[in-house]
Amino acid sequence: TGPKPLLGRKVIVTSGPTHEPIDPVRYIANRSSGKQGHAIAAALAKLGADVMLISGPVTIADPAGVTVLRVESARDMLAAVEAQLPADIAVMVAAVADWRVAASADQKIKKQPGEAPAPLALTENPDILKTVGHHAQRPRLVVGFAAETENVETNGRAKLERKGADMIVANDVSPENGVMGGDRNRVNIISADGIDVWPDLAKDDVAERLAALIAARFAG
Ligand code: C5P
């Protein structure tokens, strides 16, 4: 039912947080629920796309009509994304951890009586969007997100350039907006054409509008 402008098109979507191990039982993570990324994957599938959803650890259900690949860490996510290339479109919604523990322990780190806690040295994770945006097998349309708490437009524009994306969906994730984990989102669409400010919408409605915009941009 409905038009299928993306029929036969392969689309990679990343969603959710990543978990970066400290030791076998502990990890560093963030508050991403995966709701927006999963909704976008479902909306693209409704337009006929062949969607590979590469998801970090989430508690929400797999969306209908998409293939779900589950990963834990940023490095796992990058490997899963690269394994799916070539693709027509990539939409990177995951809240990828910027840093991981430099040397995660093979065994549970034990508390030593009387000793100060060991410091956690961090190292930078690969940037998946940036890698895909500059890839030899770059998808024709690359879309990123930008979770910002200030200067949403300026930061979004800089990100478009730096990451080699065609479109950045910038949202203000200040805690008072309740975006992280919530059901609503207010986004700004930033591209070479300029900025388009969307009203406050349910994440499912953001997903449908974005899927339609992606289909139009891909066709055009
Ligand atoms: O730089 P920043 O994390 O704000 O960029 C956000 C965008 O980049 C999102 O689309 C996110 O999925 C993507 N990203 C990524 N890999 C990273 C960091 C961010 O794909 N390591």
Which ligand 1 atom is at minimum distance from the Cα of 169? 10
Q: Whose CA is nearest to atom 13 of ligand 1?
A: 129
pLDDT digits (tens, 9 = 90+) for 173-216: 777 777 777 888 889 999 988 899 999 999 999 999 999 999 99
| Residue 44 beta carbon below 6 angstroms from any ligand 1 atom | no
pLDDT digits (tens, 9 = 90+) for 2-36: 899 999 999 999 999 999 999 999 999 999 999 99
User: From CA 172, how far away is CA 43, in angstroms rounded?
Assistant: 22
User: From CA 19, how far away is CA 39, in angstroms rounded?
Assistant: 21
Query: What's the complex ipTM?
Result: 0.95
- Report, as residue numbers or ranges, the catalytic residues: 30
Q: Whose CA is nearest to atom 21 of ligand 1?
A: 127
Q: What value does the mean pLDDT of the chain take?
A: 94
**What confidence tier does 53 reach under pLDDT thresholds 50, 70, 90?**
very high
Residue 91 CA to ligand 1 centre (angstroms): 11
Residue 94 CA to ligand 1 centre (angstroms): 7
Q: What is the pLDDT of residue 29?
A: 97
**What confidence tier does 153 reach under pLDDT thresholds 50, 70, 90?**
confident
Q: Identify the CA nearest to 85 among candidates 14, 139, 131, 9.
A: 139
pLDDT digits (tens, 9 = 90+) for 92-136: 999 999 999 999 999 999 999 999 988 999 999 999 999 999 999
Buried b (16+ CB within 10 A) or exposed e, 45-57: bbbbbbbbbbbbb
Which ligand 1 atom is at minimum distance from the Cα of 163? 8
